[in-house]
Amino acid sequence: MIEKDDLRAAVSAGAITEAQAARILTLAAERQGHLAATRPDEEPFELFKGFNEIFIVVGLVILAAGWVGVSAAIGWVDAGTGFFDVQGFVVTRSLIAAGILWALSEYFIRRRRMVAPAITLTIFWALNAALGFTASYAQPFMVAQQDWSSTIFPLALASVALLIYWLRFRVPFALALVAVGLFILMVVALAVQAGDPGDLSDLFLLSAEGPFALGTLLFGVAVFAVAMWFDMSDPHRVTRRASNGFWLHIVAAPAIVNTIALTLITSDAPGARGLLIAFLALIALVAIVIDRRSFLIAAVGYVVALSTQLDEGMGIAMTILILGVVLLLLGAFWERIRAALMALLPFLPRGKLPPVG
């Protein structure tokens, strides 16, 4: 361990400057405070650090609303002249907005390292990129005829723009939006090949016609694998890699759980309900082993949905009551349950998973 006296000696020897020593001490104090404030059985999660960040987010939202209003007013004025290029206007506005968002990100993310403004700016960047590239390359007359082939390229460019944004600013939430963008791109590409899905449930119903549900399931597994790669590279969860894994799990869990659970809920096959309960139990075990609660949150909705299929009101109420008790017990004794489960599974790579207790 490097002590303060070691840093003073390094400054005296000319190895580092006083400013560098002060920064090292500040960083060490921040890390120790973060570790001390986080219990071993808690999953690190942060949306904002203080009310000042909320204040700045409100300012960013008002700024964005003002930008949209002013640019729209300019568009109406230009349209009145009779020489108005809608596509060019939208593209130009998106390019200017991209420059403003990048400059704001450099200050609030790279310099101030704020969490809530980083999430807000990421959302604005994603919306602006999607709008700008769609206006540049999509063909409105083809979209009006439900021909989505012209939207594949702009969606791919928007996803790349988000990935570049993440590579520069390392906002974990940006990775979740990259995954969502790739999911939309996959759905559009499948729709071009196999026709539009009948309704939203076709994206998650394996028994439905078309490749959408299978694509959703495979997509969820792929995102889960990437999330686990981030998690296993930082099992103690003290860096942004763990936050990257968290947000990717938020995307992967619904894609996996929704697809299997919806298929089993709507199935009339014998034993479908039993398979559903077994599947949800497996998801719970996986969530406990990897120490991620997002899978359980995704499963909760389907347990409630299953309870609504019961004929008697008492059965519905009892199922929800049991669910609440189970969740409270897991929340109160998560670490003890996880320790017991890990003891039963000695073959797991413990060095790559969050430590027990």
C-alpha 192/C-alpha 147 separation (Å) is: 7
pLDDT (0 to 100) of residue 37: 47
Residues 9-19 have pLDDT tens digits of 777 777 888 77
Using CA atoms, how far apart are residues 190 and 31, in angstroms rounded to an integer? Answer: 46
Contact (CB, 8 A) for 288 and 337: yes
Beta-carbon count within 10 A of 117 CB: 25
Identify which has the larger pLDDT, 194 or 152.
152
Q: What is the pLDDT of residue 165?
A: 96
Lowest mean pLDDT among 65-69, 83-87, 343-347, 348-352: 83-87
> Quick check: 62 pLDDT over 90?
yes
Q: What is the pLDDT of residues 207-225, one digit of tens each?
A: 777 788 889 999 999 999 9
Q: What's the whole-model pTM score? A: 0.80
Q: CB-side exposure of 344: number of CA atoms within 13 Å?
A: 9
- Region 282-308: what's the mean pLDDT? 76
Q: How many beta carbons lie within 10 A of that of residue 312, not counting itself?
A: 8
Residue range 100-123, pLDDT digits in tens: 999 999 999 988 888 899 999 999
The tens digit of pLDDT for each residue in 28-52 reads 766 555 544 455 456 666 677 777 8
Q: Taking the mean position of all CA atoms in its chain, how far away is CA 73?
A: 34
Q: How far is CA 58 from CA 61, 99, 106, 248, in A?
A: 5, 20, 18, 26
